[in-house]
Structure 1
């Protein structure tokens, strides 16, 4: 269980770009990358992993995941959207992210949405999710330990580790598939309202 607590610390579950982290002035691409690297650099899996690159941002722009930039500068809204994309890309395809954020982008372009309150709500949910995940993981570890205790093997710790990995991936797949179904519902709702 101590290993799990250490791992949770290393995961940086509450690591997010907060609204106060975003300057009020528009940023160039290199400044956006620096902001993300500063915030998420400590929670990268390894040193080779890139938090955000020019290519990634350009691909997001080409894929119309966020509304067009002005004068090669990224506004606070762009940075918020890039932060959401950064979080979503771990589980959703680029096309699903586009479908998810299309309406938000439209509302921003039309001046019908202030993004700060929406993003604050996301950050609040993210913090709640991190706390819930910690509790759930501890319970999950206990369940895995219970299952492994009934096995006859000299290397129960390794089996426990493998079973925990398989079980967490299984849970992750449940959440991802549910998110994908919700993305599909966005598309269905748009079709119905036309």
Structure 2
């Protein structure tokens, strides 16, 4: 039973190698209207939804990103490829960071590289980050499998098989959660260090 459970968990972990993402070459070169953007994002990132009715991106979200200075305003109601790239970054960041922290990350990128004609631009940044993350997927999978195996060694004194499964599963979740907490803390410290003063706690905008 334990071996079967471990095999199922390893299969689940390895599934992240097949997770949907948006390759640089798939991002349209032409400007798009808001409806086209939400459709594009939903098509490419549909499998990342936890529940069927989850929203990847909505018109309200896009409007609020612009209203709250996360996203430069569109030109004649159309959004460029660079807008799309920023929206992709925002989508990933907002899953584990506050909107104010996302703003702290995105604004310097947008300010310095949005519509940059000379030198590095947002397309270059996305390609570089995308390729780096693809190279890291295998090592991330190996690290999670290592944590899984380590968690399977915990609570060895528990004789009841079902209870031990619950406990080792909890142990694995704790290991992953601690990893997330450490990385999130580092990200927040980087954001705070970059700013002139400690950011005040602001009310998070709704529907973002």
Unaligned runs of 5+ in 2: 1-5, 198-208
8 Å CA contact 2:148, 2:172 repeated in 1? yes
Unaligned runs of 5+ in 1: 190-194
Residue 43 of structure 2 is aligned to residue 38 of structure 1: yes
**1:174, 1:60 → 2: CA distance?**
27
The correspondence for 1:56, drawn from 53, 61, 64, is: 61
Q: Which residue of 1 aligns with 2:173?
A: 165
8 Å CA contact 2:114, 2:122 repeated in 1? no
Give TM-score scaled by structure 1 length.
Answer: 0.88
Return the structure number with greater helix share.
Answer: 1
Residue 10 of structure 2 is aligned to residue 5 of structure 1: yes
- Within a 5 Å distance, the mapping from 1:129-168 to structure 2 comes to 129-155=136-162, 156-168=164-176
**1:94, 1:116 → 2: CA distance?**
23
Q: Which residue of 1 aligns with 2:132?
A: 125
**2:24, 2:68 → 1: CA distance?**
25
Residue 100 of structure 2 is aligned to residue 92 of structure 1: no
Deviation (angstroms), 1:108: 3.3
**2:56, 2:27 → 1: CA distance?**
17
For these two proteins, the number of residue pairs brought into alignment is 189
- Within a 5 Å distance, the mapping from 1:24-35 to structure 2 comes to 24-35=29-40
**Per-residue CA distance 1:78-112 (angstroms, 9 max, x = gap):** 00000000111112111111111112111235736
Give TM-score scaled by structure 2 length.
Answer: 0.83
**Per-residue CA distance 1:164-189 (angstroms, 9 max, x = gap):** 12221121111111111111122149
Q: What RMSD over aligned residues (CA atoms) do the two structures have, in Å?
A: 2.0
Residue 194 of structure 2 is aligned to residue 186 of structure 1: yes
8 Å CA contact 1:14, 1:126 repeated in 2? no
